Amino acid sequence: MNIRNRSNGFTLVEMAIVLVIIAFLIGGVLTPLSTQKEQERRAENQELLDEAVEALVGYALVNKQLPCPDITGNDGVADACATNSDTYYTGRLPWVTLGINAEFDPWGDNHFVYYTVNGAFVGYTSPAGIDLTTQGTNAGILWVHSAAADCLTPVNQVAFNPPAIIWTSAKNDYTPNADEAENANADECYVSRQYSTLANQEFDDQMVWLSPNVLFNRMVSAGKLP
Ligand SMILES: [Ca+2]
Ligand SMILES: [Ca+2]
Ligand SMILES: [Ca+2]
């Protein structure tokens, strides 16, 4: 009797083993897919940020200065800001003014692309503009570090005094983490470092900055400077 019952089906233990094996198989397929998807989006985001830098250079070739951020209206149109070496301006990347498809990063709604610019590089009345000595001063200077704790110090600098910084929070908002909070607080100090999902060290922001040397080089090459 016992032998007949066993031959008619699986025991609970056998079923459990089969379910565990299926779970492992599904997990083994699904986890890499989600990771792969995020990697694709991060690559797409990097392309978007690189394109934004190119658009800034193009804008400077035409206007002899960088655009102000989209500070009001959330309309993608750069707003007015005065030439002021002692301050910086921050807001969203003026995607309409720049003519690029950058209202959001690849993660979509409410994933904005942010832009901060040294006040020495904006606000000129035509035909004046920046020259090869433009670098800004004091509170207008932007800093990029590999850790928020080093803000505004010579320690762990990734970039010092770039004319402009463009960044997005990417997939996750890890602002309880100090390094992501440093990017979100819209001041002159920023953090760019390795992606991490380790507890209390989470970071996935993506950032680019415009090198003053690249900007000047391109403007000289185009005959816009000196
Ligand atoms: Ca605006
Ligand atoms: Ca983030
Ligand atoms: Ca900051």
204, part of any domain:
yes
- Residue by residue, DSSP assigns 76-115 as SPPPP----TT-EEEEE--HHHHTSS-SB-TT-TT-B-EE
Task: Using a cut of 0.85, tell me whether the model's pTM lies above it.
Answer: yes
Beta bridge partners of 111: none
Q: How far is the CA of 203 from the centre of ligand 2 (A)?
A: 6
159, part of any domain:
yes
Q: Which ligand is nearest to the CA of 94?
A: 1
133, part of any domain:
yes
226, part of any domain:
no
> pLDDT at position 107, please?
98
Mean pLDDT, the chain, as a whole number?
94
Domain range enclosing 177:
2-221
Given a cut of 50, whether residue 106 has pLDDT beyond it is yes
Q: How far is CA 77 from CA 70, 80, 94, 165, in A?
A: 5, 10, 5, 17
Q: How far is the CA of 186 from the centre of ligand 3 (A)?
A: 5
pLDDT tens, residue by residue, 120-147: 999 999 889 999 999 999 999 999 999 9
Q: How far is the CA of 4 from the centre of ligand 1 (A)?
A: 78
Q: How far is the CA of 215 from the centre of ligand 2 (A)?
A: 28
164, part of any domain:
yes
Q: Which ligand is nearest to the CA of 183?
A: 3
- Mean pLDDT across 161-184: 97
55, part of any domain:
yes
Distance of CA 101 to the CA centre of its chain: 15
Q: What percent of the chain has pLDDT over 90?
A: 84
192, part of any domain:
yes
**Closest Cα partner for 151 from 182, 115, 196?**
182
Structure tokens at 46: 């990097």
Domains identified in the chain, total number? 1
41, part of any domain:
yes
